[in-house]
Amino acid sequence: MKRKWLFASLLLTAALTMTSCSFKLPVELPFKIPFITADRNTKQNDEDPSDPKKNTDPIITDEPEVPENIDTTENTQSGNDHGSHTPDEADPSPSQPDEDPVDAPSGQENSVDIPVLMGGALPYTGMISILNENYEDGTHRYDDMLEDGMSCIVDYCYVNPEDLPDTPEAYATLAAEKLTDGGIYNILSVYQDDGYTESLSYPVYIVSFTSGNNEDTNFWLVFMVIRDGYTYLYAPSVSCNADYTAEELGQDLFPRLFFSDSLDN
């Protein structure tokens, strides 16, 4: 009895061993069992990956997918395409307004036309222009130095303040302040010259004063005309170290003076 059970056990063990090594399904299953691997793009074991007709997984990239009905050609800039311009490549528009005008530099024409006190060409050689200013209200200041550097001739026109007293002394004081730019001055005399007043048809005053002090003292002789709210000055200034005087220069200059509008008469 024991031999029969032992023989049966051996037969069963042999049968199971053969079955596990060469087991085959008796019939073909109606579906296929895929092999699962770690590669997400691996296909089923019966598909040929070299077949171009087979669908493959899409390749993921950083570029966004563009629909077929969108024109992907590069946009070209046009004159009216302001949105496509960047700050670095934007061209200036030809329709932009011009820049605000700036004040005219010194030496150019005044914006207001007023008569000018003229003396013609100066009777001296080697004159050096040290100041040449024209102002928007039509006034001006021209300073010219003689060649020896000892004297200066000032041609000055300015608007009289409304509160200026109508007296020769008040006009003379303001003239001295203007000519010296508010520096030290001392008025010596002021008087109305009847001959020049008659010649120009406007009140003419001769003012003398000094400016500075000690070795820097200058002597002034001023031809001053009051006309239509303006004061016109023609004044030589001579250093105390010069070998000639302001009165001598005045004798050369003052008889030559006239107003520009007198040429029209």
Enter the pTM of the model.
Answer: 0.59
d(CA 65, CA 68): 9
Find where tokens 């002034």 sit: 220
User: 85-105: per-residue pLDDT in tens?
Assistant: 443 444 444 444 454 443 333
Average pLDDT, the chain: 75
Q: Judge contact between 119 and 257, C-beta under 8 A.
A: yes
User: 105-151: per-residue pLDDT in tens?
Assistant: 344 555 678 999 998 777 888 899 999 999 999 999 999 999 999 99
Task: Specify the pLDDT at position 50.
Answer: 53
Least confident of 13-22, 43-52, 200-209: 43-52
User: 179-236: per-residue pLDDT in tens?
Assistant: 999 899 999 999 999 999 999 999 999 999 999 999 999 999 999 999 999 999 999 9
Question: What is the DSSP track for 67-87?
Answer: PTTS--SPPPP-TT--TT--T
d(CA 137, CA 211): 28
In the predicted structure, residue 1 carries a pLDDT above the cut 80: no
d(CA 133, CA 116): 14
Q: Which domains does the chain have, with CATH numbers?
A: 120-264 (3.40.1000.10)
Find where tokens 């007293």 sit: 165
Q: Judge contact between 172 and 224, C-beta under 8 A.
A: yes
Q: What are phi and psi of 30, to 5 degrees?
A: -75, 0
| Helix extents (H) in 187-243 | 194-200
